[in-house]
Structure 1
């Protein structure tokens, strides 16, 4: 289930199917190539998270309905 290991023609071991490492490498290359875009996306995610978090904190609650006592 993990990384498969294959023996090459020279007898050395080569890692086959290390897709997780490839994803990490691709992500690093993308971040290095587009630093402003990544900063913008990160800032947007922080802003959206803060907006919703503060919205939950300062959400107005409905005041309980007070009924007038019945006149006798």
Structure 2
């Protein structure tokens, strides 16, 4: 596994653990909790959504990311 793949894998794991702890969260809340930059958070979220571990829901005009 190359360095970039390893870093991404670690980011995905960290994001999943964060969501397990905090529950549903907005993008901004996840950024504060993980200290990820926009691109890193987007890629990790996309990966978790692709794996059907997380879904996106609009609640009162706010987008939340929620564990399945």
Higher relative contact order, structure no. (Cα contacts within 8 Å, ≥ 6 residues apart): 2
The answer to which structure has the higher strand fraction is 2
TM-score normalised by structure 2 residue count: 0.32
TM-score normalised by structure 1 residue count: 0.31
